[in-house]
Structure 1
Amino acid sequence: MRVKYLILLVFLVPALILLPALGNLDLLVVLSGSMQPLFNPGDMVVIEIVDPSTVGIGDVIAFHPPDAKDEKTLVTHRVVDVVTNGSHRYFQTKGDNNEDLDPFLVPPENVVGRAVFSIPYLGYLTRHNPNRTVKLAVYFLLIVFPGLIVLYSELSYLRGYSPKMERREEKLKLWRSRTVEEVLPLRAVGIFFISMAVLTMMLHPAIEATPRGVVNTGTLPVLLLRNGVPDYVYLPPGKTYAGDYELAVNSVLPVMWLVKAYEVNPFILKSLNVIISLLLTLVTFPLWVREFPDIKSRVRRRHHETLGI
């Protein structure tokens, strides 16, 4: 099997495994900054529809506020406490970026689901984005610009089309079908280690322990992962945090991605440079896989033709 098909299989298998869960997911657009930096205005949040009885302290949930005039209004905040009143359970919620608790308790029947993932900036393409300029800019970059590139390539092909070119294309396809692949392992290893060196520098935090706490002495924000609610601390350059934490990493990826990886297994964050480097190496396979004509097959075919086989 060709290398590119094996690599495609590597990316398709996780997608196929997650496919059954798609029917249990919903999408919401973030409109306010109450949950920054976990997700930001304009981000799209993936919500998993769950049984409210499975919701606990620390979960980020989407719910209908009890005091909302519009039943369609949804808020996505973190559960910081579970209040029991007789046989009834209520959730006390709070935005990570808010000083105060939400001025209400959320009954279980108001819970829509649990936030499991976020897609940065994708919400800018929806009707919920009030900033027309930003919406048009994102729409152009993500849809119009790639579409124009595809259209230009197709028009160039049609403009230069001729029967001679078509025959040449057919010969090229035939040539490709009779090629063999050669893997250049040294080049692949080089891409992997260069990627890992760059990512290690990007992800490694510049923090210093002082009597006042941990200081971010670098130029990038640092994410401190810990046991608590919330289970992270966002530390901008020059800021100090006086408290315990388990793991520190530069916040070069969306905060929710890093937090979710930590919640699944802290080892994922510790080996993030290796994981991303491996994925980059696989994606750049044209740089370390070379195709050339299958000479043996051609010689064998000519030999058969000579013998009249």
Structure 2
Amino acid sequence: MRRHRATIGIATTGLAAALLLAGCGTATDAPPSRPHPTAPSREPSAEESRLLDRAEQVLISRCMTARGFRYEVTDVIGASGEGARSFPYAVDDVAWARAHGYGGRQERLKAAAQQADPNQRYFHRLSPSARVAARTALTGPSPVGLSVKAPTGMTITASTKGCIADAERTLYADLDDWFRVKVITMNLRPLRETRVHKERRYTDAVRRWAGCMRQAGRPYATPDESRQAAARYAENMPAAKADAAETALAVTEATCATNTPLARVSKALDRSHGEQLRTRYGEELAERWRFQNAALPMARRLAPPSPSASPGKTEP
């Protein structure tokens, strides 16, 4: 079964976002010497994580400027509160579905914001040769030097050269170790979702959900199929009609998820597999948090917290 997700409102802008695990060039703050073993293993708050991301952008900007290119520090674009939700198994909140559908309106706003991103605009205005040079300055000449096998089984590689690599090296000191724990911990959520989708209890619950959907005149065998149907509305209808049709389908999906075991079973399995993975990869999670906590003093010097930031926790 393919993974189904309805996600609203959180999008990172800039070339660095599109090249998430790539590497980058020169920085002015001297990196500390392996500070993470003595740093606390407390999970950074969402506000602290945003601060670290912004500090990394500041370092990338300095590096790119030194190499003759522009790179602007941008804030995360997206909605917050009830508009920021992820449903990896099925939409299971009827009120949310009634307000947001599958998130088509927010996705259009996000796409428009990404098109307006100054770094993307600058990048696309460059000549082909200058664009290659800018990409090389940002990510390095090739994804060689860093290589980690993620828990999902995929091997992720990146360059030790370029401005992204230099920014991360400056913030976290040990680029190899930081890249290793970042790749491992960033891939725990997709691994957890994959495991849930393979569970017999989940597939049985999906069959019950599909029966409910058929009775409601929505003959979709999986939540992924209903999500694909909603995407086709946007392709074939004016925006207002597509939003209305998408919302109606999302409400039916959520109603069936809550009226059958699907919502309860998927949450229970997600929690169970999440606990197993946190135990299995507890050392890597703690090491990532130590890296991040050790980098916070430098991040605060480089990029004071955004006034719009709100406290909270991030989830691996």
The TM tier, using the shorter chain, reads: under 0.3
TM-score (norm 1): 0.21
Q: Which has the higher contact order (CA 8 A, sep 6+)?
A: 2
Q: Greater strand share, 1 or 2?
A: 1
The structure with the largest alpha-carbon Rg is 1
TM-score (norm 2): 0.20
